[in-house]
Every structure is written in structure tokens, then in C-alpha cells.
Structure 1
Amino acid sequence: MIEFVDECSSTQKEIIEGLKNSVIKPPYCLVAKRQNGGVGSRGSEWESEEGNLYFSFCIDEREIPSDVPLSSMSIYFAFLMKEHIASLGSNLWLKWPNDFYVEDKKIGGVITTKIKNSYVCGMGINIAKSPDYAGVLDIQISANSLVLGFVELLKNKISWKQIFSKFLLEFEKSKNFTSHINNEKISLHSATLCEDGSIFINNKKVYGLR
């Protein structure tokens, strides 16, 4: 089921509360034109201007390919969306672990959590406008079209092996950037991507924590 609303506090928060209170059952997707309490990386607020893409979905863990590492569920979902958008002619790429970029500008991101036996994934992408410090998607497409295309791709149950082989090549772009690791900005220049989606950097293994 896909529900479209004009406004909500946060699509992800709404689904999490719905699952906890047993008023929502997977599969379920919520798409909002506006959010007044969107969640960004590391708990920050994601600026939610009308016209961009804000949606979250929940899916039963049994519907996810068995080879997807639990710690890299956000990478899996994000790369599926990246593949869909790229198939439409965009130069969008995925910066480790789960930020959408066009060239050197962040245009969105993904957050995933687990509630009961379901994964809840929230996505935000600037498709129409952005703050000065961010970018906008380089093709014109409606938010609803992106959601419908992503949902169809998710149904294909593409394996982690297929996703990882492509992400491994794209990871080279991430090496030109930094990532917040233990509340510290760390250059990814010397990082190595591991098969489970984690990176090996500064002699230790680091996982994407959101």
C-alpha cells in the first residue's frame, strides 16, 4: 500500500509509531509533499521544502534477500533508488554509506531502522529545490514517479551480491570525500570497502550506523 499525504511530521516517524502501535502492517509506504519534522543524518533535522521527495516504507524482513548484511540495509535500499534514478539519465551516485550526491553536492540521504520484524527506511531527495549548501537532482521527475519506480525495483529482490559489485566500483568516488565516524570527520581517501558494506580505515572496521 502506498499512501500520499500533503503534510506530516516525518514519514519515518509516522511509520515507526504505526508499527509500534500495530496500526500499520508491512508492506506500507508513506509519501508526503511536506514534512515539519524530517530527520537527517546523526539525528539532525532535514530541511523539507515542498516539491522535493520525502517518503518512508516498511517491509517485512522475510521479503529482503537473505544475503543482504543487516548492517548495510541502508546501502542496499539507497543503491536501489540510485539505480532507478540513474536509469532515467541522472548522474546521481551513492556516497558511503548512504548519501545521494550529484557531482560534489549532497542532494539527499537514507535512514533505516528495524521495528519488530520490519525494516523502516526513510528517504529524502532534493528534486526541485535545496538549501545553499546542498544540490538538486540533475533530471526533472516527480516525487510520485520516483517512489513508484523504486517500489517496483524493490519487488525484484535483487541480491546483495549484485548491488555490492556495482557499489564497489562507485566507492572510488567516495574516497574524495569525508564521512562522520565517531562524531569526527574522517577522510575516506585510504578506506577499503569490505564485502559486508563496512569500510576498513585507520586499521579498524567501520559500519554505516544509520
Structure 2
Amino acid sequence: MDIVYFDELDSTQTYLIEQIKSKKLSAPIALMAKRQTAGVGSRENSWEGGEGNLFFSFAVNLDDLPKDLPLNSVSIYFSYIMKEVLEKFSSNIWLKWPNDLYYFKHKIGGTITKKLDTVLLCGMGINLKKNSNGFEALNLNIEADFLLESYLKELENYPSWKQIFSKYALEFEITKRVSAHIQGEYKSLENAVLSQDGSLIINNKRVYSLR
């Protein structure tokens, strides 16, 4: 996958959406910015930061994704692959359902996805170094572009959803210790049941990630 590098963007995700819509860029493609001044997180939250951290978005064709991947759970899929890449450099990293990356008890990154016709876009922000966005950092001594290249290399193997889910399901007990924003409310996940398609059953109601 080709990578286009920028010194600064308002938001890699917003920029990539505009470029895909205008057909100036086409999937598969990735964008990375050294600095992001108006990054978009889940629930319209911001994710900004300076040089040394990782801000990127990529677009892939739906036909290239694993056939067994539920589109409602692509955030889990993309995030878990990043979690596995980060584990090569640091331990105690886990994925909070469905799209937040944590280091011990601290959020250090997150994922947002969007479908445009036959293209799926994913944006990620990872705090590798101390940042001004209010979240903690991994403080890893690795370059952001190297981490991105490592991630895309793993992503392009396109492991099946079954492979990813089987590993995430074993770690889901960690997520049950916390709460999450679900349908506009902050809900405990203590009694949540993780389904095969990545959705949760909470109080007999099925909830999808939709991030």
C-alpha cells in the first residue's frame, strides 16, 4: 500500500474522505501526518497532536477484506491488528471494545472507520510520545513512520475475522472491568457478552460498535 506523507493536516481522516470522494485518490492508499491539528475521534471527539506521534488514515476496497469480517466490527479488526503490532515494542497493551487502545489503565490511541460506497476508510491516532490531547502516551522510542509501515505490512496479510476474534475473545475479560459509551450513555461492561460477530449482548440487547 502506498503512503502519502504530510508535515501537517487538520485531519488525516477528513482529508482522505475528501480525496476519495473527489476521486483524486483511490484505494488502497494511506496518509500520514507528522502533526494533526483537528483530528476526528469517535463520537466527534478531537484527537490532535504534535510530531513524534502517529496520525494516519487508510482506504481499502471492501472486496479485499476477509470474507468473514462483519462490517459492523471493522473497528475491532483494525484496532486489534495495531494492538498486536504495538505488543512487539511494549507489553500491557489491550483493546477496549470496540476501538480504544490502552496501556495499563490509560488510553493511548483509538480508531474510527467510515464506509464510502465500495471503500472502507480507517483513521488512527496513537500517542507514542507525550501529547497535548489530554491522553497518556506509550513513550516508545520508535519512529511513527516505522510503526505505520509495520502496521500496514501486517494488515495486508488480511488475517481472517475468525483469527482475530478468537484472540480478542480470550482478552475480553479485561474490557469487562471498564465502562464504554453505548448509544449515548456510559455503561458498565461487567455483564456484557461478546458475540461471534463482535457485537455485545447487554441486558438482553445486542449492541454493535459502529465506530
Residue aligning to 2:156:
155
The secondary structure found in structure 1 opposite 2:150 is helix
Q: What runs of 5+ residues in structure 1 fail to find an aligned partner?
A: none
Residue aligning to 2:118:
117
Q: What is the distance in 1 between the residues matched to 2:111 and 2:37?
A: 17
Could you tell me which amino acid in structure 1 is paired with residue 100 of structure 2? D
C-alpha deviation, 1:51, in angstroms: 2.0
Deviation by residue 1:137-161 (Cα, 9 ceiling, x = unmatched): 1532111111000111011110000
Residue aligning to 2:69:
68
Q: What is the distance in 1 between the residues matched to 2:128 and 2:155?
A: 21
Task: Give me the CA root mean square deviation.
Answer: 1.3
Alpha carbons of structure 1 residues 69 and 132: separation in structure 2 relative to 1, 3 Å = closer
Residue aligning to 1:81:
82
Tell me if 1:185 matches 2:149.
no
Q: What runs of 5+ residues in structure 2 fail to find an aligned partner?
A: none
C-alpha deviation, 1:199, in angstroms: 0.6
Deviation by residue 1:61-86 (Cα, 9 ceiling, x = unmatched): 11111000010011101111111111
Q: What is the distance in 1 between the residues matched to 2:29 and 2:133?
A: 33
Alpha carbons of structure 1 residues 200 and 20: separation in structure 2 relative to 1, 3 Å = same
The secondary structure found in structure 2 opposite 1:200 is strand
Could you tell me which amino acid in structure 2 is paired with residue 170 of structure 1? E
Q: What is the distance in 2 between the residues matched to 1:52 and 1:33?
A: 7
Tell me if 1:38 matches 2:42.
no
Q: Percent identity?
A: 49
List 4+ stretches of structure 1 deviating above 6 A: none
Q: What is the distance in 2 between the residues matched to 1:21 and 1:132?
A: 30
Q: Which moved more, 1:196-205 or 1:43-52?
A: 43-52
Could you tell me which amino acid in structure 2 is paired with residue 66 of structure 1? K
Could you tell me which amino acid in structure 2 is paired with residue 118 of structure 1? V
Please tell me whether the aligned partners of residues 82 and 93 of structure 1 are also in contact (alpha carbons under 8 angstroms). Answer: yes
Q: What is the distance in 1 between the residues matched to 2:127 and 2:26?
A: 28
Tell me if 1:204 matches 2:194.
no
Alpha carbons of structure 1 residues 4 and 90: separation in structure 2 relative to 1, 3 Å = farther
The secondary structure found in structure 2 opposite 1:134 is coil
Could you tell me which amino acid in structure 1 is paired with residue 162 of structure 2? K
Question: TM-score when scaled to structure 2?
Answer: 0.96
Deviation by residue 1:161-192 (Cα, 9 ceiling, x = unmatched): 00001100111111111000111110001101
Please tell me whether the aligned partners of residues 92 and 137 of structure 1 are also in contact (alpha carbons under 8 angstroms). Answer: no
Alpha carbons of structure 1 residues 177 and 115: separation in structure 2 relative to 1, 3 Å = same
Please tell me whether the aligned partners of residues 90 and 139 of structure 1 are also in contact (alpha carbons under 8 angstroms). Answer: no
Q: What is the distance in 2 between the residues matched to 1:90 and 1:115?
A: 35
The secondary structure found in structure 2 opposite 1:180 is strand
